[in-house]
Amino acid sequence: MQLSGILPLLILAVYVSAHGEHHDHEDQMPLDYVRFPYEPIYRGLNGEITADAIFSGITTFAKLPWVQCLTKDSDVPFDIAFIGAPFDTATSYRPGARFGPSGIRAGSRRLTLYGGYNVPLQVNPFRSGLRIVDCGDIPVTPYDNKYAINQIERGHKALLQREAFSPLGNDSATGETLVPLSLDGKNHPRIITLGGDHTIVLPLLRSINSVYGKISVIHFDSHLDTWKPSVFGGAPSDQAAINHGTYFYWASQEGLIKNGSSIHGAIRTTLSGPEDYDNDDESGFQRIEAREIDTIGTDGIIKKIRDTVGDNPVYLSIDIDSIDPAFAPATGTPETGGWSTRELRTILRGLEGMHIVSADIVEVAPAYDTNAELTTMAAADVLFEVLSVMAKTPLGKIRAANSA
């Protein structure tokens, strides 16, 4: 046999001996693999963390560990999980939010470039001792809205109904033991959902209801999203009646919202008429108009929110269009006259100490963004503030003396 015929066989023999006769990719771990790193694992020659840890590798939110929470890693516990809900087939104007989860993750890549310490809140959520992961996306069909909404609810429940990785511990002020806020008395993890159009909040609130019951809601948006289906979209079918302008109407009808302690912020939409506000009142919300920031400032807005919600467990929903399109143009229904990114971040930091059980950011449609990724970076930075508030505030309360 000539050398040219022997060489391929030698190469094949070396390959088989090195790799074995089967391919078990789960056993092929990179050098220095760490399942839950507190910081990027790629380092420079002198051991320092380098920028290539930020822009290389699989893009998860803030370079967090990727855990396949809905499939093979369903037994891995966590404290806070990011999950995508790539759904946008109930929008009224510009579609594209199905690409929001991937866009927000791309915008978050440099959040840990300098370590991730939040200076105003004096916390590094990534080093807070909590196990924070990125669970990828919920599988969502683009062909059947009813089925997709059910997929989102089931996916969110599969994460939320687990027990958290870390114990609640003690109250930082009194040292007393904290007890969970949930209906079943268990300490559940918090889920931060990357939308997706705002319709996803209906199945998310259904999931929240299964653990916490009726919930107070803080809703940052330029629109009310409590419109009756006959007003917003005309409801040509039962499924068309559920869209990104009516989901809070349905959530109220289903008894998911704690009336009187829920509030909108950054509202500046046009209306079909004054009766839209009457309907909004009936849906259980109070309102902060975007223009109020000119008179009461961020401190006044924070006070209104805290006075409305009180000590109740609260769900936080953020539409990126609460930010003015000068700062976040890539959204489905942009409205001028909104808050700046800085103003919204300041207001979110003002929620420190509130019991935010879970949160979302929605309506990010990267196709309309600038080349500088203004909107996706704004969305990621907003969630950095939310994550920091969560890291500083355990989801527990001090047991009342008469219930001990």
Annotated binding site for Mn(2+): 198, 221, 223, 225, 319, 321
Can you list the alpha helix ranges (DSSP code H) found in 163-292? 201-212, 247-253, 275-282
The binding site comprises 198, 221, 223, 225, 319, 321
3-state secondary structure of 265: strand
Q: Which residue has the tokens 């020659």?
A: 45
CA distance 64 to 78: 12
Within 8 A by CB and 6+ apart from 20, the residues are none
- 240 burial (CB, 10 Å; 0-12 / 13-18 / 19+) is middle
CA distance 304 to 310: 10
> If you ran DSSP here, which 8-state letter would residue 123 be given?
B
Q: Are 252 and 243 in contact (CB under 8 A)?
A: no
Can you list the alpha helix ranges (DSSP code H) found in 20-80? 52-55
Q: Are 216 and 313 in contact (CB under 8 A)?
A: yes
CA distance 83 to 235: 30
Q: Are 337 and 300 in contact (CB under 8 A)?
A: no
Q: Are 399 and 177 in contact (CB under 8 A)?
A: yes
